Structure 1
Amino acid sequence: MAADWLVCANCAGRVSEGRCATCRAQLARQRERGPWEALTGPAGLLALVLALAAIALVVARPA
């Protein structure tokens, strides 16, 4: 997650500040993710399927 307002349950600080080991580990995981990471979840896959369906409808529509 890239939200700056997330609060750590371990140190009660913002995760983006990296106060404790848990926060720093989460920040490291966020940096390791690639640009295609959003498509691995159910919402990302659904968005991809809907976008492909919309493209198929536009291409298949008669002139």
Structure 2
Amino acid sequence: MTYDRLVCANCAAPVSEGRCPVCRANRERLQQEGEGPFAALTPAALLTLLVLLIAAVAFLATRTA
């Protein structure tokens, strides 16, 4: 989940602005969690990669059979 749309329950400001200590702590936590290899990919991009992978496996299966 991205923090650019989250609203802080403590100060009612967007978490991405980091206005209060709660916002800053959650922003830092979300940034650290989002450092994986697929963190920057959108769900549409992940779905496209999955479809391409399935197509490649199907293609290789038909070539060897």
TM-score range, shorter chain: 0.5 to 0.7
* Matched position secondary structure for 1:56: helix
Q: Where do 1:6-25 residues align within 5 Å?
A: 6-25=6-25
Q: CA deviation at 1:16?
A: 0.4
TM-score normalised to structure 2 length: 0.54
Give the 3 Å change call, closer, same or farther, for CA 18–52 of structure 1 in structure 2.
same
Percent identity between the aligned chains? Answer: 44
**Which consecutive residues of structure 2, in runs of 5 or more, have no partner in the other structure?**
40-48
**Which consecutive residues of structure 1, in runs of 5 or more, have no partner in the other structure?**
39-47
Give the 3 Å change call, closer, same or farther, for CA 57–51 of structure 1 in structure 2.
same
Give the structure 1 partner of residue 60 of structure 2: 59
Letter in 1 for 2:28: A
Would you say how many aligned residue pairs link Structure 1 and Structure 2?
55
Give the structure 2 partner of residue 5 of structure 1: 5
TM-score normalised to structure 1 length: 0.55
